[in-house]
Amino acid sequence: MFKKTILCIGAGYVGGPTMAVIAKHCPEYKVVVVDINPRRIAQWQSDNLPIYEPGLDEVVYIARDRNLFFSTDVDSHIASSDIIFVSVNTPTKTFGQGAGRAADLQHWEKTARQILRNSSSGKIVVEKSTLPVRTAAAMERILNSNDKGIHFEVLSNPEFLAEGSAIKDLEQPDRILIGARNTESGKKALEEIIEIYAHWTPKEKIITSNVWSSELSKLVANAFLAQRVSSINTISALCEKTNADIEEVSRAIGMDSRIGPKFLKAGVGFGGSCFKKDILNLAYIAESYGLTEVSRYWEQVVEINSYQQERFVRIIVTSMFNTVAEKKIALFGFAFKADTGDTRESPAISIAKSLMNERAILSIYDPKASEGIAFELADYAGRFTVEEDPYSAAQGAHAIIVATDWTEFGSYDYQSIYETMEKPAFIFDGRNILDHHKLFKIGFSVHRIGRPPMSRLG
Ligand SMILES: NC(=O)c1ccc[n+]([C@@H]2O[C@H](COP(=O)([O-])OP(=O)(O)OC[C@H]3O[C@@H](n4cnc5c(N)ncnc54)[C@H](O)[C@@H]3O)[C@@H](O)[C@H]2O)c1
């Protein structure tokens, strides 16, 4: 017999890992994760989990079928739950008012109505999805305008995990943020959520706030992180003009304790499902309150990100004698960063498309993201292949492009790779992760971000 039942609606990159960690640490709670996607649920129930995340398998195997369950039966699990985390996707709107900027809340609103329809007792509803500030007010209105005489308490508990380190981030979070109403029922609900996290998180790391600060903090955290990436990438462009070295500049400024070393790695820019959508959403919200300058300020972070990718492609084409038409080019990495198979908004997508628009033929290798490649590049079928290993990807290619910071890319036998490539052979390291001097010695022309090229061609 379980003490309480926790339900999570949405079994994605956030819902799955978060609930697995909660279930692992709270064996007295029954934790159910539901999703409308039957394939995803079947994968969560199998040995082949739907997402790659270091350490995830172990956590799921500890708790699954003990107190962690996956199901497609959303309605009946809503009815029998006490606490509902909502972790559905909230992508950028692609239609109507706010298209391309505002958050698309259709999944979220459907969920709210579904919760209401299937509840006969009051529940705590926790926003886990990233949402525009003041969404909880709308959710409360939908849920509490019922004639069943039941009360829903809506809390905000944004998720700060990063893909690729999700389990570590969940096990040892920098902080847990919970926003609640300052009412009797709000305070009671807050205590219940604190109690869950206190099973493994030190009390001083669990911080509370009002609901609006909590909702806004998530958007702002992502905006600040993305801003650091765009800031350092603007400086990488300046380094390339001045022969300053971006790695040296990053190191020098990162040792200033007021700045700190993280997120100062120059590269082809940020990706992932969150940064772009959350900044655009923040900018849209600011504009809707008449704060045009604030909105423009944050939009620049996204613009610089696109600029960095365009700049990288320009360097590739220019260096390869101004044409890549019908040349085979190997793309190493397609995931938006290392240690994930997630390709959403990956910089590799725009780089690949731009090169194929220039008529290049791509052979793409990624250790974990093969499935996403065909999906993201569906319109370019016939102009690229997905390779099983890096050596066949590079065979006969004129160039290798590194688009993801997978550690394994540094460990290949580049001497053998070089021998199988067309000459002159180029490497464009969009993540500055390879041993450039070694590659240059082998015979490659090496192009880096924010550092002078090591060219054999004068
Ligand atoms: N991915 C991240 O790193 C990350 C980190 C922090 C916060 N977030 C936020 O968390 C939220 C979820 O992100 P994600 O990456 O897990 O998304 P996701 O797309 O991987 O997962 C969302 C899941 O919700 C399901 N879903 C949608 N509508 C549903 C409904 N009505 N009933 C049941 N299931 C439904 C979808 O089928 C999908 O499997 C987003 O708001 C995102 O911004 C994501």
Tokens 């462009």 — which residue?
A: 237
pLDDT at 268: 98
10/31 same-domain check: yes
Q: What's the structural domain count of the chain?
A: 3
Closest CA to 78 of 48, 22, 116: 116
Residue 12 Cα, ligand 1 centroid: separation in angstroms? 5
30/170 same-domain check: yes
358/281 same-domain check: no
Distance from chain centroid for Cα 288? 26
Please say whether the beta carbons of 143 and 115 come within 8 A: yes
pLDDT at 458: 60
Residue 243 Cα, ligand 1 centroid: separation in angstroms? 43
204/323 same-domain check: no
- The token pair at 32 is 């159910």
Query: Atom 1, ligand 1: which residue's CA is nearest?
Result: 13
**Does residue 110 line the site of ligand 1, with CB under 6 A?**
yes
- Please state, in angstroms and rounded to a whole number, the distance separating the CA atoms of residues 426 and 429: 10
C-alpha count within 13 angstroms, C-beta hemisphere, residue 386: 16
257/184 same-domain check: no
Q: Among 86, 87, 109, which residue has the most ligand 1 atoms within 8 Å of its CB, making it the best to mutate?
A: 87
- Please say which residue of 209, 232, 267 terminates a domain: 209
Instruction: Give the residue numbers spanning the domain of 297.
Output: 219-306
Residue 86 Cα, ligand 1 centroid: separation in angstroms? 9
Domain containing residue 335: CATH number: 3.40.50.720
pLDDT tens for the chain, 458 residues long, are: 899 999 999 999 999 999 999 999 999 999 999 999 999 999 999 999 999 999 999 999 999 999 999 999 999 999 999 999 999 999 999 999 999 999 999 999 999 999 999 999 999 999 999 999 999 999 999 999 889 999 999 999 999 999 999 999 999 999 999 999 999 999 999 999 999 999 999 999 999 999 999 999 999 999 999 999 999 999 999 999 999 999 999 999 999 999 999 999 999 999 999 999 999 999 999 999 999 999 999 999 999 999 999 999 999 999 999 999 999 999 999 999 999 999 999 999 999 999 999 999 999 999 999 999 999 999 999 999 999 999 999 999 999 999 999 999 999 999 999 999 999 999 999 999 999 999 999 999 999 999 999 987 66
214 domain-assigned? no
β-sheet with 123-127: strand ranges across: 68-71, 29-34, 4-9, 83-86, 123-127, 152-156, 176-179, 206-209
311 domain-assigned? no
274 in catalytic set:
yes
**Does residue 35 line the site of ligand 1, with CB under 6 A?**
yes
**Taking the model in full, what pTM does it have?**
0.96
pLDDT at 1: 86
